[in-house]
Chain A
Amino acid sequence: MNRALKKIIFTTVTLSVLCYIFLNDLLQGDWSVLSASWDNLETFWNESLWPPEWSMLEARKYPECGSSIGFFCSKAYIGMLETLKMAFVATIIGFTIAIFLSPFAAKNLTSAWVYIPMRIILAATRSLPSIIWAIIFVVIVGLGPLAGVLAMTFYTVGYLGKLQYEEMEGVQNSPLEAARAMGLSHPEIVANVVIPESSNNLLSQLLFMFEYNVRHGSILGLVGAGGIGFYLQFYLNFLMYKHVMAFIVVILVVVIIIDLMSMYIRSFVTEDGDVKRPSWSTIFLSPNQAKKYHHGKSEEE
């Protein structure tokens, strides 16, 4: 058995044992709670969750629907659209603020006097989950989507800020050194070297954050911060799980669509890519596979 394999086995066994010890501790040694869990899930699924209440995707009775397509007046569509708008605004504003702050938190770009306080500020905004921010902003600006937008913006700044400064720290030293030797200023280096060099991953993080905010925007409604979460909270209060399930399916579909769009957008900036993807059929393929697919097609023509 070679060394590498021994290491893998040792790491796997150690982690498994640690997980078992911690879980056992959390369950206080009582594993019997798991014995009935599958039956509970089956009962809950069959009696309360499935089939979803698809009427949530139909037009509301009041106010009257002005569109010929009823779905556009449904609670699911209206709620989801509001969540998407909230997530979009929060992601863009949060990203913009974070991209200004993160260069001051990157070790390779500033001194410890600057990056340590900046990291503390970013950690502070990140340490509160967005739902707690939402509660705070509901108190400050009242119920509604604005509280949700502000909560998500604050969390986005902290979360994206960390991802961004770590990304910036990973930028190759050579372009930075060339720019420093030239005498370019800190903002010039950030704008013209650091951000373009890390653009691929910054874009990836932006898209991930949007998806994250859509998912979390759905939860923020639980504390009165608007969006589809408002309906989730409403039906959860009345234990109408089939209605809740319909909204969850809508959220799932939207998240999958955002994920596909994210893959598509990022495929234009990947390192070995330069792969234009003229058809959605290649979206699940790697850049190399996509190249082969399109070359194959053009040869056939």
Chain B
Amino acid sequence: MSSSELILSVENLTVGYNEELISKINLEINTGDVIAVVGPSGIGKTTLLRTIAGLVKPISGDIFCKAPKRGGIGYIPQKLGLVRHTSVYHNVDLGARSGSRFFSEPKTWFKRRSERVTTAVERMGLSDKMNEPVRRLSGGQQRRVATARTLAQRPKLILADEFLSELDEDNISIVLDAVKEYMAASESAMIIVEHNIQRATEISTRLLQIKNGELVEYNPSEMKFDLDGGLI
């Protein structure tokens, strides 16, 4: 097994829009890490993810990301970010396009992209929906398309915002298996925002909870839950 390598380093980061939501964030993420960020709604989980993705400027602090600028970060927003009027192929191809270099081998660019799309879509069990407009798919299928897009991109860092919500158990296992398989095969890391703490502990290697505007780290294997899945 290859040794883990630092992918993301966050130093004294403060995130928020007009006011601070989370402050004093210090974090190092290595390959193989699956980090779950939990906490109640409106506390800044999504803002943290968007800041790491480079979509929101941090109020203060630094983010050092080793993933390449193009194709290095795969982001699955809460609303999925799919182009609804176009096909499944088109959407997944966006990931493949960003992840495969045109200038390295221009002649095979289209072929390489097409292979990535086909593999990712097949892995998500959506081969028969390849040319279907995304807007016609069910919510669960759309989540699988968003995941396929990220898998086709083959990023170093996956940022997923509640990407398992609204999915039934079958769909959850399809998506999780595919992501785990990808992470095992590639040297990548993942940060997920998850509402369900119990599920977050099951899939993550490190768990971060936002408490009083700061991140507190837990070891998932040492966590205990009440009957409702809440943290004890």
Contact = CB atoms under 8 A, between A and B. Distances in A.
A274 interface: yes
A192 interface: yes
Interface residues of A, number: 22
Contact of A177 (B55, B85, B146): B55
Contact of B136 (A176, A188, A199, A274): A274
Given A177-B50, A178-B76, A192 B83 contact: yes
Given A174-B81, A196-B90, A182 B76 contact: no
B75 A182 contact: yes
Nearest to B81: A178
Interface of A: 172, 174-184, 188, 192-193, 196-197, 199-200, 269, 271, 274
A172 B84 CA distance: 10
Nearest first, the 8 closest Cβ-Cβ pairs linking A and B are: A178-B81, A181-B75, A183-B70, A182-B98, A174-B79, A181-B53, A174-B81, A175-B81
A177 B146 CA distance: 13
A107 to B, nearest CB: 16
Interface string B14-28: 000000000000000
B186 to A, nearest CB: 16
Contacts of B79: 172, 174
Contacts of A274: 133, 136
Interface of B: 50, 53-55, 68-86, 90, 94-95, 97-99, 133, 135-136, 146, 149, 153, 155, 159
Contact of A188 (B97, B146, B155): B97
A181 B82 contact: no
Contact of B98 (A172, A176, A183, A269): A183
A181 B73 contact: yes
A206 to B, nearest CB: 15
B86 to A, nearest CB: 5
A199 B85 contact: yes
A183 B68 contact: yes
A173 to B, nearest CB: 8
Given A184-B94, A192-B90, A179 B81 contact: yes
A180 B94 CA distance: 11
Contact of A180 (B54, B72, B99): B54
A-side binding surface: helix, strand, loop or mixed? helix
A194 to B, nearest CB: 9
Contacts of B53: 177, 180-181
A192 B92 CA distance: 11
B74 A181 contact: yes
Nearest to B56: A177
A196 B69 contact: no
B83 A177 contact: no
Contacts of A192: 83, 90, 94, 97
Contacts of A197: 83-85
B147 to A, nearest CB: 12
B95 A182 contact: yes
A184 B98 contact: yes
A269 B85 contact: yes
Given A179-B94, A182-B95, 4 more contacts: A178-B80, A179-B81, A183-B71, A196-B90
Nearest to B73: A181
A184 B86 contact: no
B142 to A, nearest CB: 12
Contacts of B135: 271
Contacts of B94: 178-179, 182, 184, 192-193
A99 to B, nearest CB: 16
A177 B75 contact: yes
A84 B55 CA distance: 47
A267 to B, nearest CB: 15
Given A180-B55, A197-B85, A174 B71 contact: no
